[in-house]
Structure formats: structure tokens, C-alpha cells
């Protein structure tokens, strides 16, 4: 899976679930915590990080209310 694929999956999660996307991605990753070197764990870890990055970008792009 490419970095672009990961980013697109993260964007879909954020679009569908907003800030809950981070909780969802972490929960999916944690389902595989007993095998941290597995492909599933590593994939969800990358998606979780991409979701976090997207949420941070979105927050920094929003105008301040002050």
C-alpha cells in the first residue's frame, strides 16, 4: 500500500467521522496489538498517524476566533 493510499484512507475516515476518526483508527490498530509486527497492525498504525496529521492540518487551517 502506498503513502497516497494511506492518506486517502485517512481522509475518508476524517470525512466520515470527523475527530472520531482518530479514535476509530486507534481502536482498529489496537485490535492487532498482540502482533505489533503484523501487516494489519502496521497498516492501522500508519492510517492512525495520517488521520492525526490531517486533523492537525485542518485545525491549523481554521481561522482563529480571537
Locate the domains of the chain by residue range.
3-59
The alpha helices in 1-66, defined as continuous H runs, are 3-17, 20-30, 39-61
Q: If phi over 0 gives left and psi between -120 and 50 gives alpha, with beta otherwise, what is residue 18?
A: left
Q: What is the mean pLDDT of the chain?
A: 93
pLDDT value of position 58: 84
Among the ranges given (21-25, 49-53, 61-65), the one the predictor scored with the smallest mean pLDDT: 61-65
Quote the cell numbers at residue 33: 496489538
64: confidence class by pLDDT, cuts 50, 70, 90: low
Q: Which residue has the cell 494511506?
A: 6
Rounded to two decimals, the pTM is 0.87
pLDDT digits (tens, 9 = 90+) for 22-50: 999 999 999 999 999 999 999 999 999 99
Amino acid at each position: 500500500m502506498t503513502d497516497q493510499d494511506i492518506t486517502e484512507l485517512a481522509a475518508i475516515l476524517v470525512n466520515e467521522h470527523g475527530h472520531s476518526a482518530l479514535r476509530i483508527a486507534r481502536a482498529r490498530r489496537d485490535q492487532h496489538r498482540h502482533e505489533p509486527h503484523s501487516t494489519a497492525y502496521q497498516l492501522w498504525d500508519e492510517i492512525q498517524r495520517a488521520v492525526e496529521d490531517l486533523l492537525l492540518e485542518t485545525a491549523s487551517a481554521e481561522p482563529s476566533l480571537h
